[in-house]
Structure 1
């Protein structure tokens, strides 16, 4: 799989900060677009700000996927997501129930 190790490390770093009582969310992120995904943000739907780029220093090439673990210590399932691509385009989706979703696909 052509995902970068740095992206996996960034996602794993979130797991270190979660309290034991909170449930981690796991889902697959697919890039079915025609360009590299260079930034990926996940924030609780109740937040007005985007959290850090989970692909910092990495990217997700078209046709590939990566496992995402959200271990932010929250018990919510409802998140907003944003993807930014190498060509500068953005895609945003709001109020997703990631507990039920299991996967998310960016496409053209």
Structure 2
């Protein structure tokens, strides 16, 4: 019986810990309509997918943003594309925030 307990404990400790998602509210306090948002860890060479998908965030609106497994990283490069054709890039520590506000 003791060996079964030790084996079960070893199997549990060998199970990988899954990183939690990073979830926050994106507040568009700018005068531009956001139609794309890309994030990547600061050390990455390429952008990820558009995490807004089909969602449009007009001035004064908010959106819930989820970065899958992002709580382990914290420092992200952010790239926003607007409906007017503009782009904005920033670097931000996103861990522990509830709301990220984008201004002009």
Bin for the TM-score computed over the shorter chain: 0.7 to 0.9
RMSD (Å), alpha carbons: 1.9
**Moved beyond 4 Å, runs of 4+:** none
Structure 2 counterpart of 1:103: 99
TM-score (norm 1): 0.72
**Structure 1: segments with no counterpart, 5+ residues:** 1-18
Matches within 5 A, 1:8-27: 21-27=18-24
Task: From 61, 65, 69, give the equivalent of 1:68.
Answer: 65
User: Greater CA radius of gyration, 1 or 2?
Assistant: 2
Equivalent residue pairs, number? 89
1:84 aligns with 2:84: no
TM-score (norm 2): 0.74
**Structure 2: segments with no counterpart, 5+ residues:** 1-15
